[in-house]
Each structure stands twice: as C-alpha cells, then as structure tokens.
Structure 1
Amino acid sequence: MQTEREAVEIAVHSEPHGDGFGGRLNWLRAGVLGADDGIVSVAGIVVGVAAATTSSAAIVTAGVAGLAAGAVSMALGEYVSVSAQRDSERAVLAVERRELAEMPEQELAELAAIYQGKGLSPATAWKVAGELTENDAFTAHAEAELGIDPTELTNPWQAALSSALSFTLGALLPLLAIGSPPAVRIPLTVAAVLVALAATGAIGARLGGAPVWRATIRVLFGGALAMATTFLVGHLVGIAI
C-alpha cells in the first residue's frame, strides 16, 4: 500500500527540475551537432577552393574565413534564439507570480488538480499542493504548471559561446587536413572528414537514443554530398576563370 510520504515523493519527482542530467545531455548533443556543422561547412569550402586552385594561401584563407564567419553566425543565431526563449520564460513566470499574489486560493486548487490528474487521490493531491505551496509556492507552480525551474533559466551567452566553440573545433579538422601536399590534400581531407562525421553521427545518435547506423549513414551521405557539390562547383569555376 502506498504511504502518503511515497505519494508526495512521486508527485514532486514527476515534475521537471531544472536542466539536470537530461539538460546536460541536450547541451552535449547540441555541441556534437555544432561540431558536425563546422566540419561539413569548412570542408565544403576548402575542398571547393582546392578544386579551383592549388594555391595553399587561397585555400587556407578561404577556410579561415569560413571558420570565422560560421562561428560568429552560429553564436549570433544561438544567442538570439535562446534570448527569445528566456524572454518567454520570464514573461510566463511574471504572469504566474502575479496570479499567485492576486488569487492564491484558485492557484492552490489548480495545483491540486494537476496532481489529481497525475493519479493522486483528491485528499493526497490537496495535501501535496498545500505543503509545496507553504514551502515555495512560486517554484512549485512554475514547475508543475509551466515545466520551468525559475532558478535554472536558459543562458543565451552560454549557448552562444558553446555553439561557437563546437563549430570552431569541428572546422579545425578540414582546415588542418587541407594543408597537406597538393597531390593528396583533397582525398586526405575527404577521408578525414568522413571519419569525423561518422564519429559525430554515432555520438549524436547515442546521446539522442536514435539508431546509430541510420544516423551515421545519414550524416556521411550529407557530408559526402556537400563536398562533392562544392568540388564540382569549384572545378567548373576554376576552368571558367
């Protein structure tokens, strides 16, 4: 027979509580995807330029420019996106705080109804809601109603820096590989990129709980297609010029 204490623990732990382990996995998965983006983007640039010219200076310059532009673009995009999410979180939290101040009885009933919906008996649901409200009403309602921990709001600066760093780390691989002797620079770069993409695809799939082989093949196909396309374009432009 379930005791009241066990019921309280079930009710509390059934709600989101900050980022936690799942949140860290999401950040790690985002970092892997950012690195994958850096690998493909810069590999496409340097392979395309290498197909048009054998000038090491031109190839490296294009690669470095692509790395810088991509990292800045990723950081700005992530900052804007996460800032918008944070603003939305703050807005709904402000509404919740105001409702708690203006109609505490209705909010208590709403919280009890949430726990009843999770399977608790009416008496236990009201007891849980009452004890949580006495302890920290705002946090209890934010987590149960909104799925937000008010002490763990998303950080746009952290997201921007993480995105820029992961893109840069991924982009360094093709940039270093393309510095090989002219006779082997393209096949060596392609081989290195495909190995790296296979690794990032497998890691990303593992973190996301998706089938590893399917995700790996999908990433490899996308990377190979990107490099083949830029190689062909670079070769045709090089001939035309």
Structure 2
Amino acid sequence: MKFMHRHTESHRSDRIGWLRAAVLGANDGIVSTASLLVGVAVANASHATLLVTGMAGLMAGAMSMAAGEYISVHSQADTEQADLSRERAELASDPKAEHVELTDIYINRGVSPDLARQVADQLMAHDALGSHAREELGISDTFTAKPLQAAWASAASFVAGAALPLAVTAVAPEHSVIAWISGMSLVFLGSLGAVAAKVGGAKVITGVWRVTFWGALAMGVTALVGHLFGAVV
C-alpha cells in the first residue's frame, strides 16, 4: 500500500508581524542614535557629552518605539475585534444571508456554484466565524494584530540598534569620532538591510541600498544642523 507523504512548505508570511517591528526598531535605533551623535559631535561637544546624549537617546527612543508601536497595533486590533463582533451578530441574526455571501466569494474566485455551496456548507458547519473572518474580512492568525509582541520587538530591537553607534562612540578616538560613527553606522545599516531582505525573501542589494541611503541622508542633515547651530565649547 502506497502512503502519500505530506508536502510541507515554508512560507515567510508568518514572520511579517515581528519582522516588520524588529527591522523598524533596529533601523530606527541605528539611524536616530547615529544621527544624534553626529549632529552633537559636529557642534564640538565633548566625548562625555556624546556618551550621555547617546544613552539618553537610546532610552527615549526605545520607550517611544514601544509606546508608538503598541498604540498603533492596538488600534488595528480594536478594529479587527469590532469587525468580528459585527460579523458574529450577522451570523446569529441571518445565517442564510451569510451562507450566500460566503458562497459568492468562492464563486467569484472561480469555484463552480455547486462546489462553492458545498464548501460554504462545510466551512460554516466547522467554524462559521473563522471562515468569514478569513474570507470576508481578511483576518487570520498569521496576520492578526499583536500589540504586545510588536511593542517588545520594537523596543528590544531599537536598543540593539542604538547600542551599536553608541559603542563605536565609546571606543573611537576623539579626533575622528564623527568619521567612525558615520562609517560604522552605514556598515551596520547595510548589514541589517541584507539580513532583513534575506529573511523576508527580498533582493539583498535592494535592502542594503534602501537603508544605507536613508541613513546617510539622516546623518548628513543632522551634521548640517549641528554645524550651523552648534556652539564651540
């Protein structure tokens, strides 16, 4: 007797939530902290001032990322729950209309009317709300909003990213600290872009170019501000 082996596939869509938050946090940590340090360094701040500024920026940025991500994703989760509550009420008040609606969805996707009705019958008998959530609202376990997960991922990755230019500042020679911060931060950004692209299945060169360009631009702008408005100390 021949046994059929189950074909397993590895998809990247289940990584979207945490990957987005982690990449955003690390990228923001590197860019904002490096830009802050470069801007202050160009204004002729002392090495000790640079370190204090960097630490303050790290803590403030981590809290800001966590709070912002939590609020944003929680708003999405609230919207999803409201939609699910509405769908639950419609299923309770008019299940026949909901059955027709689900059938029409499959017909519009190319399934024959008879088969679409059978599929709707079986899915609604198994999990009516879940079926309508996926097919009508586009809500699933893979893509559903997870506020705490996003907040922790953003804060932790921001700290990890911000710690890199701060560590460079701590060990770099004072006379060339700007060059060290700028150069190494671009290397860090390029590496982050490459890793994120690889994990997400995108083109590595595109990921590297995108983050290094915007990182360089941010550091250039803050350096200009520090040069124009900085006071010699």
Q: Give TM-score, length-normalised by structure 2.
A: 0.86
Question: Which residues of 2 match residues 14-163 of structure 1 at below 5 A?
Answer: 21-149=12-140, 153-163=144-154
**Is residue 167 from structure 1 mapped to residue 152 from structure 2 by the alignment?**
no
- Aligned to 1:23, what secondary structure does the other structure show? helix
* Cα separation, 1, equivalents of 2:135 and 2:45: 61
Structure 2 spans left out of the alignment, 5+ residues: 1-10
Identity over aligned pairs, percent: 49
Q: Structure 1: how far apart are the matches of 2:230 and 2:93?
A: 70
User: Is 2:214 the partner of 1:228?
Assistant: no
In structure 2, the residue matched to 1:13 is none
Once residues 26 and 159 of structure 1 are traced to their aligned partners in structure 2, the CA distance between those partners, rounded to angstroms, is 7
C-alpha distance after superposition, 1:123-166 (max 9, x if no partner): 11111110111111111111111111379742211111111111
Report if the CA contact (8 A) 1:133-1:140 is conserved: yes
Q: CA deviation at 1:213?
A: 2.5
| CA–CA separation in structure 2 for the residues paired with 1:100 and 1:210 | 40
For the residue of structure 1 that corresponds to 2:140, the secondary structure is coil
Q: Where do 4+ consecutive residues of structure 1 move more than 6 Å?
A: none
Residue matched to 1:16: none
- Counterpart AA for 2:174: P
Q: Is the CA contact 1:201–1:215 (under 8 Å) kept in the aligned structure 2?
A: yes
Q: Which amino acid aligns with 2:85?
A: A
2:178 to 181, 186, 200: 186
Report if the CA contact (8 A) 1:32-1:203 is conserved: no
**Cα offset for 1:37?**
1.1
Q: TM-score, normalised by structure 1?
A: 0.84
Render the CA deviation track for 1:25-52: whole Å, top value 9, x for unaligned: 4421431232111101000111121222
Write the distance in 2 (CA, Å) between the matches of 1:186 and 1:74.
26
Contact kept? 1:51, 1:234, Cα under 8 Å: yes
Distance 2:15 2:210 in 1: 25
Deviation at 1:71, TM superposition (A): 1.1
Partner of 1:154, secondary structure, is coil
1:213 partnered with 2:205: yes
Question: Residue in 2 aligned with 1:197?
Answer: 189
Could you tell me how far 1:208 is from its partner in structure 2? 4.8
CA RMSD after TM alignment = 2.1
Deviation at 1:239, TM superposition (A): 4.3
Aligned-pair distance for 1:168? 1.0
